[in-house]
């Protein structure tokens, strides 16, 4: 699943081709995504100039003159720029045609993404209750410490909770916990303030580095410019169960936390 760095990489890739251009038409071939694409999306967006391409958590916000297109990539979705009129493939469900002769094409084999419309996206039900951005000023180790008090849930699903902080998915939660030396099974409420300060710093550092690297290429993701990311080669634990820890040489272990596979080092993470 594309995570925050992959979505931010996509945003940066498509932004120069969209901002300032007119949306001429929204060509929908398949409306049945996670939520049906609105029947009137073409009417609402066509003829409007695109003012900005933003990101909130894992949602892309394509702002137009009277509203905002909310795009989520789901589990297997991707966006790329093509020449308008290029023949679609089996899983190419939507084209946003631009006055430049280009089109923003949405591809999604599993159809678990979304294309929605809102006049006020931050009040939309999908965005209204989200926590702070991990790279923003509102996120801190103190916030994690404060929200964790009395919580018995494991630390990994705690930091993956979008009400706590957005965009820390399975890959980057695993990597941040390893970098901070914290066992992913440890109860969130049992972790000290000092360790949360360290964890918040590692979350910021790893996400920022992954964005600069272009995200993590895992199966389906391709950036908006058609170039895959290369952060995968920097992974210390995610997807490396049974391999040797790059820091201490111990064999990495895999467990299930919150119905997700989680890999950690029993020697480095306490």
* Catalytic machinery residues: 2-3, 58, 260
27 class by beta-carbon count within 10 Å (0-12 exposed, 13-18 middle, 19+ buried)? middle
Task: Tell whether residue 151 is among the known ligand binding residues.
Answer: yes
Q: What are phi and psi of 175, to 5 degrees?
A: -70, -40
Q: What angle do CA 187, 58, 67 make, to 5 degrees?
A: 140
Q: In sequence order, what DSSP letters do the residues of 194-219 get, joined into one string?
A: HHHHHHHHHHHHHHHHHHHHT----T
Q: What angle do CA 96, 80, 168 make, to 5 degrees?
A: 110
Q: Map tokens 């939309």 to a residue.
A: 124
**Radius of gyration from C-alpha coordinates of the chain:** 20
For residue 177, what is the enclosing H or E element?
Answer: helix 170-180
Listed in sequence order, the residues at least 6 apart from 55 whose beta carbon sits closer than 8 Å to its beta carbon are 4, 7, 8, 11, 61
Please give the angle made by the CA atoms of 148, 251 and 245, to the nearest 5 degrees. Answer: 70
> Cα separations (Å) of 138 from 37, 134, 144, 165?
33, 8, 11, 9
Which residues are annotated as part of the binding site for DNA? 91, 110, 151
Q: Indicate the annotated binding residues.
A: 91, 110, 151
């Amino acid at each position: 699943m594309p995570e925050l760095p992959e979505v931010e990489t996509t945003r940066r890739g498509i932004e120069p081709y969209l901002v300032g251009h007119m949306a001429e038409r929204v060509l929908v071939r398949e409306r049945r995504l996670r939520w049906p694409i609105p029947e009137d999306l073409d009417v609402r967006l066509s003829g409007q100039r695109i003012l900005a391409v933003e990101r909130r958590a894992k949602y892309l916000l394509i702002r137009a003159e009277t509203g905002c297109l909310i795009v989520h990539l789901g589990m297997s979705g991707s966006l790329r720029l093509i020449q308008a009129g290029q023949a679609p493939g089996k899983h190419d469900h939507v084209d946003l045609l631009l006055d430049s002769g280009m089109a923003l094409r949405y591809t999604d084999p599993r159809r678990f993404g979304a294309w929605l419309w809102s006049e006020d996206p931050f009040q939309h039900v999908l965005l209204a209750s989200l926590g702070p951005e991990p790279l923003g000023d509102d996120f801190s180790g103190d916030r994690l410490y404060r929200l964790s008090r009395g919580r018995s849930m494991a630390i990994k699903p705690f930091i993956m909770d979008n009400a706590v902080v957005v965009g820390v998915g399975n890959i980057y939660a695993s990597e941040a916990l390893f970098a901070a030396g914290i066992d992913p099974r440890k109860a969130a409420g049992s972790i000290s303030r000092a360790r949360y300060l360290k964890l918040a710093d590692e979350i910021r550092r790893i996400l920022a580095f992954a964005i600069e690297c272009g995200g993590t290429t895992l199966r389906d993701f391709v950036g908006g410019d058609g170039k895959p990311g290369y952060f995968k080669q920097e992974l210390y634990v995610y997807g490396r169960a049974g391999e040797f820890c790059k820091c201490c040489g111990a064999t990495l272990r895999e467990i299930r936390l919150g119905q997700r596979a989680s890999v950690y080092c029993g020697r480095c993470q306490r």
